[in-house]
């Protein structure tokens, strides 16, 4: 048995492409539909209610595209909307927080884990709770790094100003006690070299997206839901706004991947 339908991924913006890239790498034969809500990003500064409402619209859109599962390639939506929306939709939906928490708890030797995320993710304490459920002896220091999202979206990663903001924000993790840092926002792997510059090579950086994709791949395999098509995967990327800039940065990030479609989507019909 197999399932040829695409895998759906959602995010507020470009960050979800770090997860999409990983999905293409780990499951190269699967069709992909990604949607980034550029028109309403960032989600990290919004209320739980707003984030849930916006995410619900993205989920409806992906369902209208006949996807077989949905990956929340967004920590903010995972923390704030996934528990509610799981009760509303029967399609299998996967968030990025649990797999990231499991990896961090496994990797830390000093039992001191840092978590950076958007304001809304840090406020939700989702990572602290998830890590505490696995091992209550682990000390978690969560810090908001909302500005990192704008740095990525405005394509400023390689500026001095950005490096200063990143280095200043991460200062508390220069304490050697912290041997593991969770990049608890899918935009942040796009700043990996700047984060490394601020913290050095010793700290383990956890990319929740990578762990989530492995988890979803195992799920699809176990449930006979992987496609049996070979070599002709269709990749479609959609955004709700700012399509020109989205297209430019998406192509840059996914260089080497054949993307079949990048287009603007109006969520109006799926509300």
User: What SS3 class is residue 7?
Assistant: strand
185 is catalytic: yes
Q: Which is nearer to ligand DGL, 29 or 214 (CB)?
A: 214
Question: Of these residues, 74, 130, 237, 239, which one is catalytic?
Answer: 74
Q: Which position among 20, 121, 128, 227 is part of the footprint of ligand DGL (CB under 6 A)?
A: 121
Residue 29 Cβ, how far from ligand DGL at the closest point, in Å?
26
> Could you give the angle at the alpha carbon of 270 between the alpha carbons of 263 and 38, nearest 5°?
45
Site pattern 204..243 for ligand DGL (x: CB under 6 A): ----------------------------------------
DSSP conformation letters of 115-182: EEE-HHHHHHTHHHHHHHHH-TT-EEEEEE-HHHHHHHHTT-TTSHHHHHHHHHHHGGGGSTT--EEE
| Cα 223 from Cα 112, distance rounded (Å) | 36
| Cα 252 from Cα 58, distance rounded (Å) | 24
Q: Which is nearer to ligand DGL, 128 or 186 (CB)?
A: 186
To 10 degrees, what angle do helices 146-153 and 160-170 make? Answer: 160
Candidate segments 38-46, 55-63, 217-225, 226-234, binder of ligand DGL by CB under 6 A: 38-46
Q: Which position among 75, 108, 124, 212 is part of the footprint of ligand DGL (CB under 6 A)?
A: 75
Residue 30 is a binding residue for ligand DGL (CB under 6 A) = no
DSSP conformation letters of 190-230: GGHHHHHHHH-SSSEEEEHHHHHHHHHHHHHHHTT-S----
**Spatial CA neighbour of 1 closest among 225, 234, 244:** 225
Q: Which is nearer to ligand DGL, 96 or 233 (CB)?
A: 96
Residue 126 is a binding residue for ligand DGL (CB under 6 A) = no
Residue 42 is a binding residue for ligand DGL (CB under 6 A) = yes
Site pattern 43..72 for ligand DGL (x: CB under 6 A): xx----------------------------
CA 134, 91, 61, 254 torsion-angle sign = positive
Structure tokens at 45: 């500064």
176 is catalytic: no
Residue 198 is a binding residue for ligand DGL (CB under 6 A) = no
Residue 99 is a binding residue for ligand DGL (CB under 6 A) = no
Residue 165 is a binding residue for ligand DGL (CB under 6 A) = no
- Catalytic residue numbers read 74, 185
Q: What is the binding site for ligand DGL (CB under 6 A)?
A: 11-13, 15, 41-44, 74-76, 118, 121, 149, 185-187
């Amino acid at each position: 048995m197999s399932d040829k339908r695409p895998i759906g991924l959602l995010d507020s913006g470009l960050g979800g492409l770090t997860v999409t890239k990983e999905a293409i790498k780990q499951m190269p034969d699967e069709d992909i539909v990604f949607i980034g809500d550029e028109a309403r990003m960032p989600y990290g500064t919004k209320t739980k209610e707003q984030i849930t409402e916006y995410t619900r619209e993205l989920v409806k859109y992906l369902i209208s595209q006949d996807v077989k599962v949905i990956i929340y390639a967004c920590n903010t939506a995972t923390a704030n909307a996934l528990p509610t929306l799981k009760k509303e939709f029967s399609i299998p939906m996967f968030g990025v927080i649990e797999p990231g928490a499991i990896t961090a708890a496994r990797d830390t030797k000093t039992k001191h884990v840092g978590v950076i995320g958007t304001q809304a993710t840090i406020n939700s304490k989702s990572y602290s709770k998830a890590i505490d459920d696995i091992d209550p002896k682990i000390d978690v220091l969560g810090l908001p790094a909302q500005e990192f999202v704008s740095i990525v979206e405005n394509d400023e990663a390689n500026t001095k100003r950005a490096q200063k903001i990143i280095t200043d924000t991460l200062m508390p993790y220069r304490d050697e006690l912290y041997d593991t840092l969770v990049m608890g926002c899918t935009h942040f792997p796009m700043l990996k070299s700047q984060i490394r510059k601020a913290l050095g090579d010793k700290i383990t950086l956890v990319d929740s997206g990578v762990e989530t994709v492995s988890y979803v791949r195992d799920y699809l395999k176990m449930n006979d839901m992987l496609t049996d098509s070979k070599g002709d995967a269709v990749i479609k990327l959609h955004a709700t706004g700012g399509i020109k800039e989205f297209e430019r940065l998406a192509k840059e990030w996914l260089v080497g991947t054949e993307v079949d479609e990048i287009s603007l989507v109006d969520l109006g019909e799926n509300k």
